[in-house]
Amino acid sequence: LVSGWAGRSGVAVMDLQTGQIVGVNIDQQQVSACVVKIFIMMAVAEDIEAGKYTAASVDDLVRDAMGPSNTWPARELTILAGGGNLTTGVLRVNAIMQSLGMTRSVMPHPPGYPEIDHGLGTGEIYITGRDMVVALGKLYRGEALSAWATDYVLWSMTIAIPGQQQSLGGGIPYSATLYHKIGLLYAPNDVWNDAGVVTFQRDGREYAYAIASLSSDSGNWLNGYYYGTAASATAWQTISPVYP
C-alpha cells in the first residue's frame, strides 16, 4: 500500500494488547506540523492536575489548538507549560517526548513559530511513526499520566473539526472510537499527518491499537489525507478480526 504513495510517507501501527508494531518507514523522520500538540497537552494536563491553572481557564485555548488546530493557542499553552517562559515550555515538552521514548522526534519550537532558537535549533518539528505509536500506547495505557490527566488528553484528541476526523476516521466503523491529532502544512511541504488511538468493544472488553499515517511532499496535502484513510482501513481490517 505505502509503496504506491507519492512523496515521503510512513505508517506505523501498534497492537496495544500485544505491543507488536508493524509498518513502513517507521523510523523515518517526518515533518510533524500540529501532531506534536498531543505532547503540549500532556504538559497542560499535568499543570491542571497540579493546580497551576484550571481546565476552565485554558478551555478556549485548548479547543482552538486541538479543534481547528490553530497554532497561536498552542504557543500560548506552551508558554503556560513553561511557567510563563516559552523556552522553558518548549524544553519541557521535549522532555516529555523523550521520557516516552521518542528518541528520533523533536519539537524545537511550537508549531508555526520557528523564529526563536530555544536551544534546539530553528528547523522543522520532526516525528517518526514508531515514536508516535509507542508514545500513544503509553498514554492510552496510563503509563505516562494519572488516570484523570490521561482522560483529559484523550478528550482533547476528540475535538477535531469534522473534516479532520475523516482521514483516520474514514477507515473505521462508527462503532469504533478515534482519539487523534492531525498535522497539516500546505505547499511546498504538502504535509498531512494523522496519529491516534482506535478503540473498540467486544463482549464488554475494550481493545485498542495506535496508528500513525505520516505524509509529505506528495504534490497535494489531500493525497496524504486519503493515504491516512487507506492506512486506517487496512489496520482495522487486519487487527479487528483478531479480537472477535
**Looking at residue 63, what is its pLDDT?**
98
What is the rounded CA–CA span in Å between residue 185 and residue 112?
A: 10
75 Rama class: left (phi>0) / alpha (psi -120 to 50) / beta? alpha
Averaged pLDDT score across all residues of the chain: 97
Q: What is the mean pLDDT of residues 19-38?
A: 98
Q: What is the mean pLDDT of residues 91-115?
A: 97
Q: Which residues contact 110 (CB under 8 A, 6 or more apart)?
A: 40, 71, 74, 75, 78, 86, 89, 90
Bridging pattern class, strands 126-127 and 30-31:
antiparallel
| Residue listed under C-alpha cell 478551555 | 59
Tell me what percent of the residues of the chain surpass a pLDDT of 90: 100
The pLDDT confidence band at residue 11, using thresholds 50, 70 and 90, is very high
**Looking at residue 165, what is its pLDDT?**
93
Q: What is the mean pLDDT of residues 195-203?
A: 97
**Looking at residue 8, what is its pLDDT?**
97
Q: Which residues contact 39 (CB under 8 A, 6 or more apart)?
A: 93, 96, 97, 100, 107, 135
